[in-house]
Structures are given as structure tokens and as C-alpha cells.
Amino acid sequence: MLSHKLILTGSYGVGKTSLFDRFLYNKFSSKYLTTIGVNVDKKVVNIDGRQLTMIVWDIAGEVTQDKIPNAYFLGASAMIYVFDVTRASTYEHMISDIDFLKAKLPKGIISIVGNKIDLVDEQFIQTELKTQAPLPWDILTSAKTGEHVEELFLSIGKKLLNRS
Amino acid sequence: MHVRKECRIWVDDNARIVKTQGNLFDKELLDKLFHVLFCPVILSIFDEIKKLTKDNPGIHIPAVNLSSKYINGYFHYFFKRESNGLILWVIKDQTAETNYKLIRLQPEMEKKLKRETERFLLSRRNCNYTDE
Ligand SMILES: Nc1nc2c(ncn2[C@@H]2O[C@H](COP(=O)(O)OP(=O)(O)OP(=O)(O)O)[C@@H](O)[C@H]2O)c(=O)[nH]1
Ligand SMILES: [Mg+2]
């Protein structure tokens, strides 16, 4: 069976572990336990009748992504760049971060994700967030309610399957 | 006195452990620990961690000035990380089941996150009020 490694990146506290927990175990905790090193687990997903093992790496958040140890990128096929829609400090480095990540994984899939949408309203998203975010996002999620979390991972899975 | 056994670890392309030899702990534990090995501090204490048994009172590694205490079945490690203040590591001692857990608690980051989020939510509320 095909397997791919996927890394969750982004600043601290944006919800990487929460997205990981939601996708892998369908659970959420409002307690913040910052990650050191990496959490790794895998999930087999079914996409259009094909199976794919997604090995998900949830790494410790860094304010800028160039602090991520090089070894983490080994063998990765996709990256999810998570920012917190309520904290501008988590998306202000987006352009340089994405450039850096693209250089690390030239052939990889990179998905930009705004998390914690349960804390904001549609008007904020359509006005302020849209003008403030340096790059357009691929999807907005809430690890808390589960909104769009499955879609996020499955859409990456689909791209990975279509490529191979 | 404990005898030092030779320790070997085989990893695949995804840095997952496929086979181990001569370790105190089982593959499952090492599998979990291995992913934090790239973190230099952990790398430097890994050999010490492997030597731990449930009778061990804790370890001190001078190189990273890491101190540890064994409290109620947990190994507690304290060390400083660049600009982020104190981090507390707790390694749960369940040697009998050879199932350890690594947890990082970082009270200062927690406060920082709370402050930033609350500031945002408050500003949103204010702006709704003025809209009305
Ligand atoms: N309201 C809300 N809170 C969230 C959401 N996702 C995460 N959180 C909270 O935000 C805090 C940080 O979440 P984590 O998942 O630990 O963040 P992280 O990106 O893994 O942080 P580091 O490991 O430090 O890099 C926790 O208190 C979570 O409960 C969300 O979608 N909505
Ligand atoms: Mg985390």
C-alpha cells in the first residue's frame, strides 16, 4: 500500500497538535500542552476506492519555519502550514515561511490552513482576514468543532494519490 | 553495577525504527523517543534515558545542565530553551509495561497564547459594540 509522510508546521499554539488529534483520534482538548520534538502516527484513508497510509508528523511550533530541524523534512511528501486566524503574529511571516518550505520540498504539496475559525465570524474572515493574510489560504478549519479537518487531510491524500 | 549492552537501531526513510538490538526499552518506546532525537537536547540525553530503569532516582546531564527528579513514578526533567523560558519534561515511569510518555509543559507559552487570543477576542467584541 502507498504511504506518504505529511508534516504539520506553523507557529506555536496555532493548533497543529489539535488538528493531529482531531484527524487521528477524533478528539479535542482545550488544554495547551506545547509539543517538544515530534508526535508521529499514521492513518489509513480510503479515497475513491484507493487506500493510502498517511504518516502524520506533528512537530513543535516555531515562530519562523527555518528553525525546523532539517532531518524532519526527510522523506516528506506534503506539508500543512497552519496559522491561527485570531493571531496575526502567526501569519505575518507567511511569505518567507512558504518560500522556505517550498525550497525544502520542491516537489511536495503545501497546504495553507487557517485554524480556530470557531472563534471568528464570517464578516471578519471576508474583510479583515482576507486583506491581512499575506497569501490566500487553501482551507479554514476548526480542530475544536472538527469543521473541515477531514476535508483538509483527504484533499491532500487525493493530490498525493493522483500524483503517484 | 549494570552492564552496558551494545545498542543498535535500524531506521527506514521516514525515520521510523524497523529493528532494534540490545536496548533496555522495547521498540515501541524507542519508536516514540526516536522522533524527538533530532531535538539536540534530547539527542544529548538519549543515551542516559536508555539507561534508566524504574529503580533509577533520576539523572543529571551536565552538558545541558539538565536536572531531573523522580516524583511519584515520573521522571521530571527541567531545562531552558532559547527565549522560551522553562520547559518541564515529564517522563512517565511505567517500566513494567515498558510504555513511557513524553510530555512538555510550558507555562510561559501557555500564558502568551492566552494573552494574544484574549486580546483579539476583546477587540472583536469592542468593535461589535461600536457597530451597534
Ligand atoms: N477555539 C479553538 N481552539 C483551538 C483550536 N485548535 C487548537 N485550539 C487551542 O489552541 C491551543 C494550542 O493548540 P495546540 O494544538 O496545542 O497548538 P500547537 O500548534 O500544537 O502548538 P505547539 O505544539 O506549541 O507548536 C490549545 O489550547 C487548543 O485547545 C480550534 O480550532 N479552536
Ligand atoms: Mg503541538
CATH of range A2-163; options 3.30.70.1150, 3.40.50.300, 3.90.1150.10, 3.40.250.10: 3.40.50.300
Tell me how close the Cα of B121 comes to any Cα of chain A, in angstroms. Answer: 8
Q: Which of A48-57, A140-149, B22-31, B47-56 has the lowest mean pLDDT?
A: B22-31
| Cβ-based neighbour number of residue A1 at 10 Å | 7
Answer yes or no: is pLDDT of A3 > 50: yes
Instruction: Report d(CA A58, CA A15) in Å as an integer.
Output: 10
pLDDT above 50: residue A164: yes
- From chain B, the residues in CB contact with A124 under 8 A are 124
B48 has pLDDT over 60: no
Mean pLDDT of A79-92: 97
Q: What is the pLDDT of residue B76?
A: 56
Q: Is A40 on the interface with B (CB under 8 A)?
A: yes
Would you state the pLDDT for residue B127?
Answer: 58
Residue B45 has pLDDT above 80, yes or no: no
Backbone angles phi, psi at B41, to 5 degrees: -65, -45
Question: Residue B62's pLDDT band (boundaries 50, 70, 90)?
Answer: very low
pLDDT reported for residue A66: 84
* Cell numbers placing B53: 530503569
Q: Is 60 exceeded by the pLDDT of residue B54?
A: no
Residue A27 Cα, ligand 2 centroid: separation in angstroms? Answer: 14
User: What integer is the mean pLDDT of A147-159?
Assistant: 98
* Predicted pLDDT at B2: 34
| B35/A40 touch (CB, cutoff 8 Å), yes or no | yes
Q: How far is CA B127 from the centre of its chain?
A: 41
Residue B13 has pLDDT above 70, yes or no: no
Look up residue A108 and give its amino acid.
Answer: G
Report residue A70's pLDDT band, with 50, 70 and 90 as the boundaries: confident
Average pLDDT estimate for B106-118 = 82
Indicate the range of A12-21, A37-46, B30-39 predicted with least confidence.
Answer: B30-39
Q: Hey, what's the cell of B132? A: 451597534
Tell the residue nearest (CA) to atom 29 of ligand 1: A30
Report, as an integer, the average pLDDT of A134-143: 98
pLDDT of residue B104 exceeding 90: no
Averaged pLDDT for residues B27-49: 48
Q: Which residue has a Cα nearest atom 32 of ligand 1? A: A116
B130 or B122, greater pLDDT: B122
Using CA atoms, how far residue B77 sits from A60, B27, B102, in Å, is: 18, 23, 10
